[in-house]
Amino acid sequence: MYLATLEPGDRILSLELSHGGHLSHGHPANFTGQRYEIEQYHVDAETGYIDYAELDEKAARFDPDMVVSGSSAYPRHIDYERIQAAADATDALHLADVAHTTGLIAAGEHPSPVGVADFVTGSTQKTIRAGRGGIIMCREEWADDIDTAVFPGAQGGPLMHNIAGKAVGFGEALEPAFEAYAADVVRNAEVLADRFREHGLSLVSGGTDKHLVLVDLRESHPDVTGADAQDALEQAGIILNKNTVPGETRSPFVASGIRVGTPALTTRGFGSEAIETVADAIVRVLDSPEADATFETVAGEVRTLCEQFPVYDDSDDLNGDDD
């Protein structure tokens, strides 16, 4: 998408990584940060919400060629119309990256940038649960340029099995059951956030509007890094990732936060009670990140939950046979 619309040295304004942005939006380790000139906006230090006034000010001063909205660890809704207005004011293109929220948008659980932004990109394996890959939507005037940038510009032959996987996932997303799933994803994330707050954990922005919760450990567990938490929880059978947080004071390879999501648990059938059990287990590990006995106890609870909510129900016949 960048190759189709920008020249080397063009300017991109995007959300800073430790404030919830993404590597592909201009980080120096990514080609975007090496090929283009980058300026970044942030979340408000007090509220944890995007500072739209700062975004407006930086857009006016920086005069970007493209403004990027979207995130990888921002737990609140994004005001796409507000960002579009900032882009319009400087005659910039607007790219909305909805990688994490594609399924929530499809189900009406998150505001949609379609018809607002010039371009909408997203992952197809996350909340929309299709085959792994991506999707690009754009205004008709850009369609040929983007097609050419994809092939032959950046991709070889099409992977038809991957395309088929996307089609199956998109088909499922058209069913009423998918809307119920997406609503449950958000509801479960809210339950998770509530339970964490009851345990005294500090949440970036105070909670969530979507599928993830971002925990800042510095206040409740000052001696536990994000990396410590990730490793300890893995030993107990709980997989999540360390994550930088706004005002980060540690290396991103260590980090001060953890990011916890609910889509996979929701797909398995976890409801509010099971989500609260998961939250309680996470906190017990955070409280004793070096205690083998805690790991063993929590791992047992995890096994029980997995048996209660299997990936595949034993009653389902994957071969299509009735016998």
Q: Would you say residue 318 lies in a domain?
A: no
In one letter, which amino acid is 83?
I
Q: Give the pLDDT confidence of 196-234 residue by residue, as tens digits.
A: 999 999 999 999 999 999 999 999 999 999 999 999 999
Q: How much is the mean pLDDT over the chain?
A: 94
Q: Is the dihedral of CA 182, 187, 191, 197 positive or negative?
A: positive
Report helix, strand or coil for 69. strand
Residues 152 and 221 in one domain: no
Task: Please say which residue of 173, 208, 230 terminates a domain.
Answer: 173
Residues 68 and 148 in one domain: yes
User: Three-state SS string across 70-82, please?
Assistant: ECCCCCCCCCHHH
What is the value of pTM for the model shown? Answer: 0.92
CB-CB neighbours of 252 under 10 Å = 16
Residues 52 and 152 in one domain: yes
261-268 mean pLDDT = 96
pLDDT band of 75, cuts 50, 70, 90: very high
pLDDT band of 154, cuts 50, 70, 90: confident
Q: What angle do CA 243, 66, 138 make, to 5 degrees?
A: 95
Residues 9 and 91 in one domain: yes
Task: Please say which residue of 143, 173, 203 terminates a domain.
Answer: 173
Bridge partners of 123, per DSSP, are 134
Task: Please say which residue of 119, 145, 173 terminates a domain.
Answer: 173
Which residues form the domain of 215? Answer: 187-308
Q: How confident is the model at residue 316, as a pLDDT?
A: 53
Residues 25 and 55 in one domain: yes
Report helix, strand or coil for 244. coil
24-35 mean pLDDT = 94
Cis preceding linkage at 152, omega within 30: yes
Residues 104 and 191 in one domain: no
Q: How confident is the model at residue 156, as a pLDDT?
A: 86
Residues 124 and 217 in one domain: no
Q: Give the pLDDT confidence of 2-22 residue by residue, as tens digits.
A: 999 999 999 999 999 999 999
Q: Give the pLDDT confidence of 37-54 residue by residue, as tens digits.
A: 999 999 999 999 999 999
Q: Would you say residue 35 lies in a domain?
A: yes
Q: Would you say residue 159 lies in a domain?
A: yes
Q: Which residues contact 50 (CB under 8 A, 6 or more apart)?
A: 15, 41, 42, 43, 44, 74, 76, 78, 79
Residues 157 and 207 in one domain: no
Q: Would you say residue 238 lies in a domain?
A: yes
We report the CATH number of the domain holding residue 115 as 3.40.640.10
Q: What angle do CA 99, 47, 256 make, to 5 degrees?
A: 65
The answer to whether the CB of 39 falls within 8 A of the CB of 13 is yes
Q: How many domains does the chain have?
A: 2
Look at residues 280, 304, 282 and name the one whose alpha carbon lies nearest to residue 236.
282
